Every structure is written in structure tokens, then in C-alpha cells.
Amino acid sequence: MSVDQRLLHDIKFSEAPGGRAELVGYADGGGVPTVGYGHTGPEVYVGMTITQTQADAWLEEDIEEANEQAAQLPEWASLSTACRRNAIIECVFNLGDGHWISEFPKTRAAIQRQDWPAAAQALLNSPLWIKQVHLSRVERLAEYLARGSY
């Protein structure tokens, strides 16, 4: 799969200040060891050092995994534009499919109905996620759902 360049850009700049990968492992806001562009996993530990090449490779792998997970969701078939699909891929990238499924049932139901204003509003109704990823990211993703275009 070739990663959509708009999605790649959006995730880079949402996961890392100025779009620059964090090359030293750190504990994210939830205490999860993280490195690069939001990469987590059993191979990641606080204080590990990676190269920019590794950060870029993990980012592409993580986006591909999020895309595969998102494409299996019941709401996927209702996503009528690449922009809306990218919004959900980014949500799954950030949250994981389990948290997306359990924490956003109203957003998911609205997507299945193609009720885009309701889907956007339901996404914005998550103060905990907003605190974790910042309001600007959630507003951008909600706008992508509402408008269906960049």
C-alpha cells in the first residue's frame, strides 16, 4: 500500500512538534513508552534511541496497520470520500481500533447513517481524547468528517 501523503503529513504534524520525529523513547501522557511519530509496541522503551529512517519506516507501517484495521470496521463502507477515510484511519492510528470501537459508538453510528454533522459533533464530545491529543487535532478530524474534503 502507498500511504496517502496528506494523511502522512497530518499524522506527522499531530504526533510530533513541527513534524519532527522524537528519536528518544519517552512515556506519553498515559505512561505508554512511545518513540518516533507516536509509535508504541513491545520493542519500545523509555530512553531508547532510533534513527529518522526507523521513525519514518515505523510511521508508514503504523499507518498501514491502522488502514487495515479501519477498513474492517462496519462504518468503513459509509465513508464516501478519501478525506473521511483518512480521518478514521488517523483516529484508529491514534486510539487503536479497540478504543475507537468502545469510546466512539455515537460517532460510528452517525457515520453509518452518513449523518456527517452528527458524526463530527460526536467526535468533539470527548473531553478526555481532546485533552490527550489537543483540541486542534480533534477539530480538524471533525471538520474532515463534516465536510468530506480538505
Backbone angles phi, psi at 23, to 5 degrees: -90, 0
Q: How far apart are CA 115 and CA 143, in angstroms?
A: 13
Q: pLDDT (tens digit, 9 = 90+) per residue, 45-57?
A: 999 999 999 999 9
Out of 2.40.10.120, 1.10.530.40, 3.40.50.2000, 1.10.3720.10, which CATH number does the structure's domain 5-147 have? Answer: 1.10.530.40
pLDDT at 1: 59
Backbone angles phi, psi at 24, to 5 degrees: -120, 130
Q: How far apart are CA 37 and CA 53, in angstroms?
A: 12
Structural Rg of the chain based on CA atoms = 15
So where are the chain's domains?
5-147
Residue at 3: amino acid letter: V
pLDDT at 100: 97
Q: pLDDT (tens digit, 9 = 90+) per residue, 19-36?
A: 899 999 999 888 999 999
Instruction: List the grid coordinates of 71.
Output: 477498513
Query: Would you say the pTM of this structure is higher than 0.85?
Result: yes
Q: pLDDT (tens digit, 9 = 90+) per residue, 99-138?
A: 999 999 999 999 999 999 999 999 999 998 998 889 999 9
**94 contact partners, CB below 8 Å, separation of at least 6:** 14, 15, 38, 133
Q: Note whether 60 and 3 are within 8 A (CB).
A: yes
Q: pLDDT (tens digit, 9 = 90+) per residue, 71-97?
A: 999 999 999 999 999 999 999 999 999
Average pLDDT taken over every residue of the chain: 95
Instruction: List the grid coordinates of 63.
Output: 499507518
How does DSSP classify residue 49? B
**50 contact partners, CB below 8 Å, separation of at least 6:** 21, 23, 25, 35, 36, 58
